[in-house]
Structures are given as C-alpha cells and as structure tokens.
Amino acid sequence: MNDRLRWIEPPPDASRATFAQDVRAGLEAQPPRLDCRYFYDAAGSELFEAICALEEYYLTRAETEILAEHAPTIAAGFRQPISLVELGSGSSRKTRLLIEALLAAHGSLRYVPVDISRTMLEATTRTLLADYPALEIVAVAAEYEQGLAAVRSVDDRPRLVLWLGSNVGNLHRDEAADFLRRVRDGLAEGDRLLVGIDLRKDRATLERAYDDSRGVTARFNLNLLARINRELGGDFDLAAFRHVARYDEVAGRVEMYLVSTREQMVRIRDLDLVRRFAAGEAIHTENSYKYSPAEIDRLAAAAGLRVEARFEFHESVPAGLVAAQAPGPGERVPPGSPVLLTISRGRAPTPTPVPPTPAPTPTPTPALAPDEVIVPDLIRLPEAEAMRRITASGLMTTYNNYQTVDQVAPEARAFFLSVPPGHVVSQIPAPGTRVKKGTRVHLAIRKE
C-alpha cells in the first residue's frame, strides 16, 4: 500500500520564528496577541473538526453543499488526471467529494494534502488510501509557504489547488492578496485554484458561528493557552480566561479574543517570562474576514487571478422574506386549503412546522413524468427513517435543522410539542408535492 504514499517534510525554516519566540513576542506586545497558526496542534485540530460539525458553524455545511453539487463540473474542467493540492487539508472530509468526482472522471488522482498537523495527516492519508484504491498521495507536513514550494518541485501534472474553510479569511485583506499571488506564481497555464470565501452577513449569524452554545469554539481558542502550558511550561489558569468573538462590521471581520477575567500573573517557565494581565485585558488570537462580492473581485484582481466560476450557497434568506411555502408553488390543492409561509429570520431555514395534512380530496392531476416523483409525507417520522424514505423515493437528503420550541412561531408550538424529539416536525417541499427526481428535501427535526 505504501507505494501509493509519499511524505514530504521540509526541515523547519530556520528564518521563521519558533513557537517559543512567537509566544514571547506576542505576549510582550501591547495589546497582546497570539498567532492563529498555533491553534492546530493535535488537540486543536481535533477541536476544530468538532467546530465543523456544529450546527452554528454554517461554513462547513455551505462548502460541503457546494462541492456536492459542483464537484462533477469542476472535475470535467480537466481532461487528464491531475494533482489535487490542498492547503490546510485537516480531515479532508469535504475534499472526498472532489476526490470521488476526479477519480470518476479520470480513473486516477494524485492528492497532495498540506497541513501543519502531522498527526491529522497520518490519520487522513491512512483512511483515504484504504477507501480509494486508485488514489496516490503525497502528504506534505508543513506550513503553507513551504508546502507550496515543495509542491512546485515534485509535480508535473495539471493542478487544482484547494484552499477551503474560509482560511483566506484568517489573513488581512492585503496579506490574502499577496499570498494568493504567490500561489498563482507557482501555477502553470490551465491550473486552477478553488478558494472557499465566506460572505459578509448579519452579525447574529456570524457571532453564533464563532461562539457556539456548546462552548466548543471557546475550548478551541483556550487550547492555545493549554498548548503554551504543555509545550513551554506555562501556568495559564484556563478558567481565568474567557473566549470572546465579536463582529466588526466596518472591517468585515470576526475578531477572537481570550479575555482575562481577573487581574493575574502568568509565568512561562521555558521563556523565563512573567506577564501580568489586568482584569478585562484581551489577547487577540484570530481574525476571520468576510467578503462582499465586490471585495472578492478586488481580491482576485490584486492576486492576478481571473474568476472563472463562482459557486454560492445561501443558507439564509434575508430576514423578513418568505423562505418557503407549503404547499409548494404550482401545487393543486382543494379550494380553501391553508398556505403556511415560513418567514426567514435571516438564518438557516427554519420552516414553520406543517401540521399533518388531512387526506387530500382527489383532484384529477396529469400523470407523473418519468423524471418526477411525489414527495412522501415524513412528518412525525424518526429522523433516520425519514432520511431513508427520501433516498428511497429518488430524492436527496441534505443537512437538517434541529429546532427547539423557542425557534418556532407561537401558533405552531402546540403542534411542535406533539412531535417527539428526534422526529420530523416539518419538511420542504411539503408532502404530496410533485418534484423532479433528485430534489433536495429539507427536514426540521425537534431537538429537545
């Protein structure tokens, strides 16, 4: 199996500061800061995976949906087997969608994941090789810059470079353009770059995504202090720092901080450093820049790139607009039937629960076309069973919404509470709708 796996581990760049040097410089600075590249040790990489699975962290869901929909088109843009280079590959979970499409299109593929967590890379390459017998992997355990240089030297095939996860947002806007320009300089005619960029959006959605209700993001941020304790003999009291995420609307960025909850002294043995923190003093740990469509154009132009295609995913409809209706448009229903509208709160679609519809009075309808199906009634079914029936009917599943009673319109609460947790409270399109095969069915599931 190992003839399909090669490792590249460039020696650490002697001109780059070490973790110890960066921590010292960051904590001696006023205001203090810590570099976000140090989030991703083994523990941090794992916590980040947990962030990606959070309901509030819509970014992973959006990218997955985009790749699920467009991977075949992206693959069809290349005529021969390519190298798929991924900057910051992490678990490579979303990338599987592209890997599968590229293998289907060309029969073989070289995947070149670049990641700073060697543990993460080892785990992912092992499972990818087992899952895809036609896949060859060149694993690069390095930071972006060194990784890119290494990639340039090994590779002769056409390339698709991936930079997902809104990682571009972790650089200042001008740094992002400079970095993309350097990536571009390493590309040949016909190579392509696919970048995941998060759009500017409302504050509530953003702040929730970076400060989730289960505190996973807080633990991820605090892991930076834990890492200093582990690797540099620090004595940070993790309970005395608080995770804060706030959106600066003018700058268009979510800023992350670790805020000292009291006056305290912190000692870092290996740095021979003692740092006093005032109550309320904040260590800046990360920015996540959001882009308007015009800012994306400017970024591409500044990097010397031409935008060939944009794939947008809008989970949210602006607040106050109708996000969905049941029965769906064009449906035949008896006169006087109720029409339920879901008014967007500007976030993930939270369809108003549709009460079970009484058996409709038969109306003559034209016969189903061969590519049409009738959406089954999934209301009150357990989630897994509903998902099974969606695929069994020739439709597609998607990410479901998990709702609590306070997310539901007052007039729908009694119905909502009559459905057991873990069961379907509403679906779009509504039961009985005739739709094209392959249509995605959104479910709302009662959470608790």
Residues at the interface with ligand TRP (CB under 6 A): 51, 59, 165-167, 169-170, 210, 217, 220-221, 256, 286, 288
Contact 90, 48 (CB under 8 A): yes
Q: How near is the Cβ of 117 to ligand TRP at its closest, in Å?
A: 14
For residue 143, give the nearest of 40, 63, 49 by alpha carbon.
Answer: 40
Closer residue to ligand TRP, CB minimum distance, 57 or 416: 57
**Rounded least distance, CB 159 to ligand TRP, Å:** 22
Residue placing its CB nearer to ligand TRP in the complex, 45 or 288: 288
**Exposed, middle or buried by CB within 10 Å (0-12, 13-18, 19+), for 199?**
middle
3-class DSSP state of 98:
helix
Q: Which CB, 111 or 210, lies closer to ligand TRP?
A: 210
DSSP letter at 145? H
CB of 50 to ligand TRP, least distance (A): 11
Q: How far is the CB of 230 from ligand TRP (least distance, A)?
A: 19
CB-CB contact of 144 with 88 (8 Å): yes
Which DSSP state fits 33? B
Least Å distance between CB 200 and ligand TRP? 13
Residue 288 pairs in a beta bridge with 254
Residue whose CB is less far from ligand TRP, 124 or 170: 170
**Nearest of 56, 61, 111 to residue 87 by alpha carbon:** 111
Residue 138 or 168 having the CB closest to ligand TRP: 168
Q: Which is nearer to ligand TRP, 91 or 167 (CB)?
A: 167
Nearer to ligand TRP, 241 or 416 (CB): 241
> With respect to ligand TRP, which residue has the nearer C-beta, 253 or 446?
253
Nearer to ligand TRP, 51 or 138 (CB): 51
Residue 62 beta carbon to ligand TRP: minimum distance, rounded to whole angstroms: 11
| Region of residue 166 (phi > 0: left; psi between -120 and 50: alpha; otherwise: beta) | left
Nearer CB in complex with ligand TRP: 169/327: 169
Nearest distance in Å: CB 5, ligand TRP: 27
**What DSSP string describes 212-230?**
-TTSHHHHHHHHHHHHHHH
Least distance (Å) from ligand TRP to the CB of residue 363? 49
Q: How far is the CB of 167 from ligand TRP (least distance, A)?
A: 5
Rounded-to-integer distance, Cα 234 and Cα 270, Å: 8
- Residue of 158, 159, 161, 139 lying closest to 150 (CA atoms): 139
CB nearer ligand TRP, residue 59 or residue 151: 59
Contact 320, 341 (CB under 8 A): no
| Residue 156 CA neighbour count, 13 Å, CB half | 0
Nearest in space to 225 (alpha carbons), one of 247, 255, 256? 256
| H-type alpha helices, 107-215 | 118-131, 144-154, 173-185, 203-209
State the minimum distance, in angstroms, from the CB of residue 290 to ligand TRP. Answer: 9
Least distance to ligand TRP, CB of residue 238, Å: 15
Instruction: Classify residue 291 by its DSSP letter.
Output: B
Alpha-carbon distance of 198 to 215, in angstroms, equals: 22
Q: What is the dihedral of CA 53, 58, 60, 65, to 10 degrees?
A: 120
User: Do strands 192-195 and 159-163 pair parallel, antiparallel, or not at all (unpaired)?
Assistant: parallel
- Nearest Cα neighbor of 221 from 201, 235, 192, 241 is 241
91 contacts 121 by C-beta, under 8 angstroms: no
